[in-house]
Amino acid sequence: MKKAIAIIVSVLFVLSVAGLSFAAEQKAAPAKAKEAAPAPAEKKAPAKVKQVSGEVAAVDAKANALTVKGKKGDVAVTADDKTSVKIGKDKKSLADVKVGDKVTVKYAETDGKNVAKSILVSAAPAKKEMKKEEKKEAAPAAAPAAPAAPAKPAEKKKTGGY
C-alpha cells in the first residue's frame, strides 16, 4: 500500500513539473509577440485631443491659422477642412473669428502641427461700461421678486405590504 501511494505521489509531482514548464513556454511566446507589435501600433495610434481656452491673439484666415492666448501661454493652431467653427450655435468659418474673441479650441498634434478639430467662440466681450449698466439694471429688477411659496412635503406612497 505504501508503495502504491509513493508511486502515485511521484507521478503527480512529475506531471506538475512538466505542466509548469509547458505553461512557462507558452507565456514566453506571447511576450515576444507583444514586444514586436507596439512599433507599428504607435504609428497608427490616434493623436491625443487637447483643449485650450482663452482669447484670440491672432487670426490668419488665408493660412487657416489661429493663435489663442491661454493660461499656459500662446497656442498656435491650424484649421483644415474637417475643423468645425461655431459662434454660439451657428456654424461659421475661420474668417468670422476676430482678435479678442473668447474661444475654446480642441486640437490634436499631427506631424508636429496643432490641427484644430473644433473652435467654439463664446459671446464677444462687451465694453466695461455696458457691463456696469447691465448689472445696475439687473439688480433692481431682481429685488422686487415675490418670495417663493413654501414647498409641499412629499407624500408617502401607501403600500399594501411590508
**Predicted local distance difference test score (pLDDT) of residue 55:** 92
Residue 41 has pLDDT above 50, yes or no: no
Report which listed range, 104-118, 131-145, 147-161, is most confident: 104-118
114-125 pLDDT, tens digit per residue, is: 899 999 888 655
**Confidence grade of residue 129 (pLDDT, cut at 50, 70, 90):** very low
Q: What are the backbone angles phi and psi of residue 29, rounded to the nearest 5°?
A: -65, -50
**Predicted local distance difference test score (pLDDT) of residue 64:** 86
pTM over 0.85: no
46-81 pLDDT, tens digit per residue, is: 678 888 999 999 998 888 898 999 888 888 999 888
Whether 68 and 56 have beta carbons less than 8 Å apart is answered as: yes
Whether 117 and 86 have beta carbons less than 8 Å apart is answered as: no
Long-range contacts of 125-131 (CB under 8 A, 24+ apart): 125/100, 125/101
